[in-house]
Amino acid sequence: MSLLSRWLTATSGVLTVAAVTWGRRRLSSRHDGVEVVAPRTELPVLSDIRAGLGAAQAEARLAGLRDWVEYSGRAAEHRQPALDVLCEALRDLPWPGTEVDQRWRMVLQATLSAHLRPGPGFWLGSDLDLRDTTLVDFDLSQCRVRDALFTGTRFLGDTRFDESTFLGEVDASGAFFGRHVLFTQSVFARGLGLRGTTVCGNGEFSHLHAAGAVSLRGARFSGRADFSCARFGGDVDCSGVRFGGRALFRRAWFAGASSFAGAWFRGREDFVDAAFGGDSSFENTRFGHRIHAD
């Protein structure tokens, strides 16, 4: 096992705290037997940070993470560029890669989430660009993000967006979810794009709130799709969606137009107490079982 692999195995739970400490402080001298720490004077360069995070050597990767923390902590205007570099490092990691690559991916994901979740170190108003990226057991639950791009992204393992708030556009068109995905109690201030996505497990969308348009056109759900008590303030496009398991829209609220044209409900569907405030279309919709819409 390599140096980086052993180090990540032993310290993955405290990596972010350690990186912050190393990034902000450097040893300069000793005084009366006590180590005196001085802040780093020169500012790391983004190109060097990018190279370090993507390096193969353990020391270079760790140095890149320390410099990343140092750069992002200097000023608020550095945060978005630093976040973009972290997203690039995730996007460039090979799949499946080595064991070290897999552990490094989890470290970068945890570092990312730590700055998007309200609490110490939270970065308000951040954008995410993780298009065409492979993510494993990705957890963005209880986070606060502005725009988020996940088009063509592969989510392996379970994916969590529950109780998160997105203040801008969210586009995950063509994304692949290898197992379960949770959007429970998430809030979308503008819109949500899931056009052509594939969910191999269950899709949990109960109590979702979306003020803008929601598109699931051509999406595929292998397991249960639960939209119970979801609130859609704009138009909803579910045309051509294939629901392989149960499709639950019990007590869902559609304020705008909604379309299920050409959708295929292969499992049981439930629209009990659903409310449609705008025009709705079920043209050429196929049902594998009796409709529940009492």
pLDDT at site 42:
73
Of the candidates 116, 134, 39, the one whose C-alpha atom is nearest the C-alpha of residue 80 is: 116
Per-residue pLDDT of the chain (294 residues; tens, 9 = 90+): 444 444 444 444 434 444 443 333 332 334 344 444 445 557 788 999 999 999 988 899 999 999 999 999 999 999 999 999 999 999 999 999 899 999 999 999 999 999 999 999 999 999 999 999 999 999 999 999 999 999 999 999 999 999 999 999 999 999 999 999 999 999 999 989 999 999 999 999 999 999 999 999 999 999 999 999 999 999 999 999 999 999 999 999 999 999 999 999 998 999 999 999 999 999 999 987 655 555
Q: Answer yes or no: are the C-beta atoms of 116 and 87 closer than 8 Å.
A: no
pLDDT at site 291:
59
pLDDT at site 292:
56
SS3 for 156?
A: strand
Cis (ω within 30 of 0) for the bond into 94? no
DSSP 8-state symbol, 43: P
Q: What's the pTM?
A: 0.85
- Alpha helix stretches (DSSP H) within the chain: 3-11, 15-24, 46-53, 58-74, 79-92, 99-114
Question: How many of the other CB atoms lie within 10 Å of CB of 177?
Answer: 26
Q: Answer yes or no: are the C-beta atoms of 128 and 153 closer than 8 Å.
A: no
